[in-house]
Structure 1
Amino acid sequence: MDALMKPKTKMARLDDLTIRRAIWMVGAFVAIVALMGGGSRYDISSAPLLRAASILFAAVSIALMPSRALTGLRVPLALIAALAVWMGIQLTPLPPSLWASLPLRGPIWEIDQLLGAPEHWRPISMAPSLTMNSLLSLCVPFAAFLVAAALPAAERVRLWWAIWAFGLASVVFGLLQIMGGPRSVFYLYRITNDTSPVGLFANRNHHALLLSISILAAGWLISNEILRRNGRPLVVPALAASIVLFLLFTLVIGSRMGLICGAASTIMAYAVVRWSYRFRAKPINQARTLQRGRHRSSDRFGVARRIALNVLPLVLIVGLGILFYFSGRDNTVGRLFQGDGVEEFRIATLATVTALMKQVWLLGAGFGSFARVYQIVEPDALLREAYFNQAHNDWFQIVIEGGLPAVLIFAGGAIWILLQLVSAARARGVPLRGEMAETVTVAATFAVLISGAAVDYPLRVPSIMMVAAILIVILVRHREEAFNTNRGTKAAFAT
């Protein structure tokens, strides 16, 4: 008997060690990307270090993870590989006559002819160095997939905690930026919104988007704590307080997109928490205790809990209303109704951007080339001292830079995510159960990302890429667990 027990004990220790290593890997990777991956510009000095670190983390994860850890992630990894291949094709030189036949190349060809310049083979990309930069930037989401995949399905709650901790750390940096002023050393990037607390980002909209996602993460963590049989009494109040903090800080940031996404995330998180209380775990001996009439204390706690669930949202709404009323003209609501000129200018450029999209939709102008290509078609009426560096709509910019192949790749990814969500929901058997809270939260988080990408460019920021990759891993692990649970339930009934 002892001889049989020793191998099991050793294997259990090895499994625990592997899980601990994976947890530390996730924490270290998220911290590094959070500190160095908050900007999308190609000339950020930390970008080479971040990419080197990502490659290192990817290699270590491959060496340590179980052989079947990537089974459910083959499709997203294949899509990243397809995107990398397409970027490589955009960097492949073409014959001069073929290159000149592509949209927007005519004026350059004519200038070459007038100058008598020799004919050169040129790639599809009109900014090859920036396309190469985009290709290298895929290191971060690729590594994020591998690092997160090293955690088993039962430990995916650690990934939610990592997202929540990322949001909390960004708020801390934002508070330090407020205290230090526009020249604070806690602004991590040279080109940034130095009049707003951008946290660990260069752009206030991206910070606000992360906080919206963190609100959803906190909501699901509260739900998970409620559904635990042995709940921890201080965790739920702390997470609830963090939701209020994230929402209030979104107002301080001054992002109109953040206000909308943050409000929607708060409503969804509240709905998830309310839903989870219907399926909360009961103490093991509660039925016997109820029969003996010893449930007065638990009843009092239940009443207090219900009062808190109904009163706290009202208090939060009233508090925010008072904050709106007494705050200055530079707050989010003031910008929402009065504008600051930036969003209005982006709306004015929409016609030019859509016209450009219609010209280059087939093959694209090359990833990273938007600013260079836009200058070719920029109307005189829209000329400004500051250049228009992004389309501020990731979906339009994907068409402009990547063309039809990139659209097909992203459409394939969107369809796959939708199928995974539907599959996870159906695998639960009865839809109206507490476990559905995670499915709903993941769907809401993807909705926030999609909405944010429609008015800005968060998917070009390495740290947001990392969050998106982690969410995909969470979805895959959630679906796997749902199928395993459903299969085990059916087997139990069959026996």
Structure 2
Amino acid sequence: MLYLLCGATLLASLVLGGGTHSGFLGDVVVQLLSIPLLILALWAAFSDEPARKEKGRIALALCGGLTLVVVLQVLPFPFDTWSGGARLFSEGAETPFTLPSSWNPLSIAPQATWAAAVSLLVPLAIFCSVLQLDLTQRMVLCWGVFGFGVVSLALGFIQVAAGTESSLRFFEITNPTEAVGFFANRNHFAALLNVTLVLSALWLNATMESSLKSGGSRTRSILWLAAAGTLVVAVLAGLMMARSRAGVFIAAGVLAGVAAMMILHRLSEHTSEEPRHTWRGRRFSLAVAMFAALFAVHFGLAGFLTRFESNMADDARIPLTKTTLETALKGLPFGTGLGSFVPVYATVEKSADATAGFANRAHNDLAEILLETGIIGAALLVAFLGWFGRKVMTAWGRSPRDDDPRQAALARAATLIVALLLAHSLVDYPLRTTALSVTFAFFSALLVSPLSVPRVELPKSPSGGGRVRQRHTEAPVGGAWSPGVPWPESWQNRTTGT
């Protein structure tokens, strides 16, 4: 049930969660769907199985920490003592807030804080549930994300072909001349394409390995290999078509990481055919990369270069980030409250930076986190980056403990995806959309070791054969077996006359 509900919530989040702000009907549907999933994930903390209980307790601790942050921001405190938000507007400036001298919450926009807390339900439910899935289930969901990326890529090509009046653009406020897929914003579509690029390279590596082995040069293998290579080319073309500057620049780093991932995979192979296979694989990978670059340049370079016609110094992201960071320092120690960016920035925006529209996000998640959560958010961010750094070293620096090579490949791909979304968050706000926040939570959970399926080792057979390893999907009644637990009498070998 947990696995099926997790898959349904993940797919619904990707399809319906492409809006640039909260409040869309799709976000509400996904949030309602995530509630039973989160309950199931937390229920494992009270399980009798040690492995599930451990994962459940991790999920419970994470939920408790985030709940504490929200509660602290909506509980009343003396404004003049605790709230940085009060200091921002204490000099007689006209503000959209009512700041009486009585006790009030740390958040200067409590309703927005509650709305932001509700939006965290979906990625939190996905992370906590994926923790409790085994490797096979994780792989299936991973390829589900990959399939969604392919469908989104095809939709983007159709949107561009249909023109600005295409009915396949699902948001009223969107980029009408670029491909956006299921999103409202081309930059978020480009972030998803970069995720798809990593997964398509993973698929290319897997198909290349199977087709280059002896006896693997059959027509079916060659067709799959050609399809994987074509998809890599199409994803790069889609990135150029989206005309996202951040997406294209980050894709260059993604390609470098993918190349490193494939090289490490080749070095881990120890077969007599390794030199020949490695050389053939390198030639094919080089051919795919060269063709992808040429095709992408021919297909979308002209349109992409138009994004650089204006002065980069005039980009609104620069004053947005600068003003947000300045306001964040004034809002210390506890910030202005989750979800309060829009009303806060509307008050502190400099006249020289004013535009016809309004700033819905800081376009720099680091700066926005510091503004809204202060030192608490900064501490949580540092803790996450430290944890992520250790996981990167584990995935890339030494051989994983798991014997299954799929886990090593999946962990390395997950580190690339988490890193690219973090990098994109420095110049945009992909993690503020439901679809990409769920993607981030999903691949972050993949960095935690999967739920192990218990294995028991059978005794040697009477014929002198070796030990036979047998996999059990469920633990025996009374708990999982451990090496110190004796076998049931009915399972023991019996030899007549002894």
Fold agreement, TM-score > 0.5 = yes
Tell me which of 362, 365, 372 is aligned to 2:343.
372
- Structure 2: gaps (5+ residues): 456-467, 469-498
Counterpart position of 2:64: 81
CA shift in 2, pair 1:250/1:457, >3 Å: same
Residue 447 in structure 1 maps to residue 427 in structure 2: no
Aligned to 1:3: none
Choose from 76, 81, 103 the match for 2:87: 103
Choose from 43, 50, 74 the match for 2:23.
Answer: 43
Using the alignment, how far apart are the partners of 2:132 and 2:352 within structure 1?
A: 53
> What are the equivalent positions in structure 2 for 1:274-353 lying under 5 Å apart?
274-279=263-268, 305-323=281-299, 328=302, 331-335=303-307, 337-339=308-310, 344-353=315-324
Q: Give the CA deviation at 1:86.
A: 1.1
Aligned-pair CA distance for 1:323:
3.6
CA RMSD of aligned residues (A): 3.8
Aligned twin of 2:478: none
Aligned residue in 2 for 1:463 = 435
Q: Deviations over 1:12-55 (max 9, x none)?
A: xxxxxxxxx56544432222101221124123232221110111
Once the 2 structures are TM-superposed, how far is the Cα of residue 144 of structure 1 from its aligned partner? 0.6
How far apart are the structure 1 equivalents of 2:267 and 2:185?
40
How far is the alpha carbon of 1:448 from its aligned partner?
0.6
1:259–1:332 CA contact under 8 A, matched in 2:
no
Hey, what does 2:381 align to over in structure 1? 410
Post-superposition offset of 1:70: 6.1
Q: CA deviation at 1:119?
A: 5.1
CA 1:368/1:382 → structure 2, altered by over 3 Å: closer, same or farther? same
Match status 1:393 vs 2:364: yes
Change (3 A) 1:118 1:167: closer
**What corresponds to 2:7 in structure 1?**
27
Residue of structure 1 in register with 2:35 after alignment:
55
Residues 1:273 and 2:262 aligned together: yes
Aligned AA (1:28): A
Are positions 1:205 and 2:194 aligned together? no
Stretches of structure 1 that go unaligned for 5 or more consecutive residues are 1-20, 291-297, 485-491
Contact 1:25 1:147 in 2 (8 A): no
Equivalent-residue separation in structure 1 for 2:298 and 2:388 (angstroms): 40
How far apart, CA to CA, are the structure 1 residues paired with 2:94 and 2:195?
Answer: 49
Deviation (angstroms), 1:434 = 9.2
Does the C-alpha gap of structure 1 residues 107 and 128 become closer, same or farther in structure 2, counting only changes over 3 Å?
farther
Secondary structure at the counterpart of residue 189 of structure 2:
helix
Q: How does 1:116-131 map to 2 (within 5 A)?
A: 120-131=102-113
SS at match of 1:259: helix
The structure-2 alpha-carbon separation of the partners of 1:126 and 1:463, relative to structure 1 and needing over 3 Å to count, comes to: same
Query: What count of residue pairs does the alignment treat as equivalent?
Result: 441
CA contact (8 A) 1:87 1:135 kept: yes
CA distance in 2, matches of 1:361, 1:174: 42
Change in CA separation of 1:279 and 1:351 when aligned onto 2, cut-off 3 Å:
closer
Residues 162-241 of structure 1: pairs in structure 2 closer than 5 A: 162-225=144-207, 233=221, 234-241=223-230
- Distance in 2 (CA, whole Å) between partners of 1:422 and 1:341 is 35
> 1:434/1:85 Cα in 2 relative to 1: closer, same or farther (>3 Å)?
closer
Cα distance in 1 for residues equivalent to 2:416 and 2:95: 50
Contact persistence 2:17–2:435 (CA under 8 A): yes
Question: What's the secondary structure of 1:156's corresponding residue?
Answer: helix
Checking the alignment, whether the CA contact within 8 Å between 1:216 and 1:269 is kept in structure 2 is yes
Match of 1:9 in 2: none
Q: What CA distance in whole angstroms lies between the structure 1 residues aligned with 2:201 and 2:53?
A: 28
Aligned partners of 1:82, 1:437: CA distance in 2, in Å? 31
Task: Look up the SS of the partner of 1:122 in the other structure.
Answer: strand
Length-normalised TM-score, structure 1: 0.77
Residue identity in the other structure for 1:381? A
> 1:42 corresponds to which letter in structure 2?
S
Query: Cα–Cα, structure 1 residues 323 and 364, in superposed 2: closer, same or farther, change >3 Å?
Result: same
Structure richer in helix, relative to its length:
1
Over 3 Å counting, the alpha-carbon distance change for 1:302 and 1:93 in structure 2 is: closer
Distance 1:149 1:429, change over 3 A: closer
Match of 1:363 in 2: 334
CA separation of 1:427/1:78 partners in 2, compared to 1, >3 Å: closer, same or farther? farther
Aligned-pair CA distance for 1:254? 0.7
- Distance of 2:43 and 2:63 partners within structure 1: 20
2:325 alignment partner, SS class = helix
Equivalent residue, structure 2, for 1:419: 390
Contact 2:208-2:281 within 8 A present in 1 as well: no
Amino acid at match of 1:29: T
1:392: how far off? 0.5
